[in-house]
Amino acid sequence: MTNYSGFSKSNRAQRISFLSEHTDLSDSEIGLHYGYDSHDPDQQSLLEEMIENYTGNFPIPMGLVPNVVINGTTFQVPFVTEESSVIAAAAKAAKFWAAKGGFTATVESTIKKGQVHFIWKGDPEKLQSLFPDLRTKLLQSTELLTSRMRQRGGGIGDILLIDKTRQLPNYYQIDVAFETADAMGANFINSCLESMADCLRTAPELNTGDFPPEVIMSILSNYTPDCLVVCRVEAPIVALAGWNKQMNPATFVTKFKQAIDIARFDTPRAVTHNKGIFNGIDAVLMATGNDTRAISAAGHAYASRNGTYQSLTNLSLEAHTFKYTLEIPLAVGTVGGVTQMHPLVKVVSAVLNHPDAKTLMMIAAAAGLANNFSAIASLITTGIQEGHMKMHLSNVLNQLKASEAEKKIIRTEFKELPVDFRTLEGLITQIRNRT
């Protein structure tokens, strides 16, 4: 295998000609690397500098979910997603619930955490007894770094010493709580932790004997159970009649409850169930320039907090009322990082009326709950394929470059057919031969 050194120092044109030399891409495939360049040179250079070894822009569709009413305010929510039906599902649920007062959301807390992981081979009791003074020094070591954040209402909260020596010999953590206002705050947290790590490493009181503290690593935790939002919808059970004409509301809600209960004890189902919640959440996170990986990791870990992996949504049917809730950690940011740079993220922020981080937590949660509601409602009634296949059919017909007339014939004459590429390809050929 060849090891291409110096690649990072090459420019974009060199990287693309490298691809041309080392792959069998056609000229038009090579050209696609330039095909989605921004017309605005400033925006283009911004994108080129956002990542390393840049070769081109990779478009993913953006669409709008209207009528998302949260705590009485209506949002038109941009979704960025590659999956068909996600927007249709969210839009249908948002509209349905808007007519019933919409979503109610509350941000329970916004604390994030990070740890300095270290080894101390000295006396554990000595470490504990020195810690109160050490804590003050650790905090002081971050003062410069936190000054602007403190002005914005953020900063550092609890600093704890956690003894983990049962899990790993001589292993301790300095566990630090952060409030990062409207920023996701990863850089801020990591800088503070690294500063604390230096302070710990060089603290004279810990460097008296043979065992100075050895820092292993300093890093934020993407597990954010204290950065929590709860989003709910509620309506009398009879009001669910409007969703599905074929099924009476009592049967609908009973099956809905069973579907939720299954996802509370059955991991294989719970994973798919939660994936459907993330269909909406990820689409909002992508559109707003947030870190989808961090937030999914936190969500799935939170789903396991009771020892088994469970549904993130819950349903109660007490007092003839459908009370449906999503509780999820969403450590989002609306300032700093990509949110300030990406031209479309700025547009999305304007569409959402420049939300602060708490408002964005509520919007993303509402998107997740909307997608989950639609998914479960389809699964227990028509099945998921009916809606999916309509979109899939359009995608395959476009792939086959079907004309509008051909699309019309397929849609009217072949309603019951399975939508697979080969079948449709055969049909288009038949239609073309007919004419």
Give the residue, chosen from 111, 127, 301, 384, that forms a contact with ligand MEV under the rule CB under 6 A.
384
DSSP-derived letter for residue 102 is -
Looking at residues 46 to 85 of the shown chain, list those that interact with ligand MEV (rule: CB under 6 A): 83
Concatenating the DSSP letter of every residue in 274-341 gives HHHHHHHHHHHHHHTT--HHHHHHHHHHHHTTTSS---SEEEE-GGGEEEEEEEEE----SBSTHHHH
Give yes or no for residue 272 binding ligand MEV (CB under 6 A). Answer: yes
Min separation Cβ 262 and ligand MEV, Å: 10
Contact stretch for ligand MEV (CB under 6 A) within 114-122, 185-193, 272-280, 293-301 = 272-280
Site string for ligand MEV, 225-264 (x = CB under 6 A): ----------------------------------------
If one asks whether residue 142 binds ligand MEV (CB under 6 A), the answer comes out as: no
Q: For ligand MEV, which stretch binds (CB under 6 A), given 153-161, 165-173, 231-239, 268-276?
A: 268-276
Structure letter (DSSP) for residue 415: T
For residue 375, state whether it binds ligand MEV (rule: CB under 6 A): yes
User: Residue 117 interacts with ligand MEV (CB under 6 A)?
Assistant: no
Residue with smaller CB distance to ligand MEV, 177 or 384: 384
Distance in Å, CB of 273 to ligand MEV, minimum: 5
Of 344 and 379, CB closest to ligand MEV: 379
The piece of 190-198, 275-283, 319-327, 411-419 that touches ligand MEV (CB under 6 A) is: 275-283
Neighbours of 353 (CB within 10 A): 10
Query: 37 or 83: whose CB is closer to ligand MEV?
Result: 83
Q: How many CA atoms lie within 13 A of 50 on its CB side?
A: 18
> Is 273 near ligand MEV (CB under 6 A)?
yes
What CA–CA distance (Å, rounded) separates 152 from 182?
A: 9
Total residues at interface with ligand MEV (CB under 6 A): 9
Task: For residue 382, state whether it binds ligand MEV (rule: CB under 6 A).
Answer: no
Interacting residue with ligand MEV among 67, 279, 288, 381 (CB under 6 A): 279
In the range 296-325, which residues lie near ligand MEV by CB under 6 A?
none
Question: DSSP alpha helices (H): ranges in 141-204?
Answer: 143-151, 186-202
What distance separates the 2 farthest-apart alpha carbons in the chain? Answer: 92
CA atoms of 382 and 402, how far apart (whole Å): 28
How many CA atoms lie less than 13 Å away from 257 in the CB half-sphere? 15
Q: Which residues contact 236 (CB under 8 A, 6 or more apart)?
A: 320, 321, 322
Dihedral angle, C-alpha 118, 119, 125, 128, nearest 10 °: -10
Strand, coil or helix: 375: helix
Question: In angstroms, rounded to a whole number, what is the distance separating the alpha carbons of residues 357 and 360?
Answer: 5
According to the binding rule CB under 6 A, does residue 427 interact with ligand MEV?
Answer: no
189 vs 259, which CB is nearer to ligand MEV?
Answer: 259
The one segment of 17-25, 134-142, 271-279, 315-323 that binds ligand MEV by CB under 6 A: 271-279
- Using CB under 6 A as the binding rule, whether residue 368 contacts ligand MEV is answered as no
Question: What residues contact residue 331 under an 8 Å CB cut-off, 6+ apart?
Answer: 112, 184, 222, 224, 227, 294, 295, 298
276 binds ligand MEV (CB under 6 A): yes
Does 385 participate in binding ligand MEV (rule CB under 6 A)? Answer: no
Q: Please answer whether residues 370 and 98 qualify as being in contact, where contact means their C-beta atoms are separated by less than 8 angstroms.
A: no
What phi and psi, each to the nearest 5 degrees, are found at residue 220? Answer: -65, 160
Tell me if 360 sits within 8 A of 288, measured CB to CB.
Answer: yes
180 vs 381, which CB is nearer to ligand MEV?
381
Shortest Å, Cβ 228 to ligand MEV: 22
Instruction: Tell me: does residue 280 bind ligand MEV (CB under 6 A).
Output: no
Binding mask 79-98 for ligand MEV (x = CB under 6 A): ----x---------------
Nearer to ligand MEV, 97 or 278 (CB): 278
Question: C-beta of 419: minimal distance to ligand MEV in Å?
Answer: 16
Are 400 and 116 within 8 A, CB to CB? no
Smaller CB separation from ligand MEV, 83 or 198: 83
Q: List 40's β-bridge partners, or say none.
A: none
Which residues are near ligand MEV by CB under 6 A?
A: 83, 272-273, 275-276, 279, 375, 379, 384
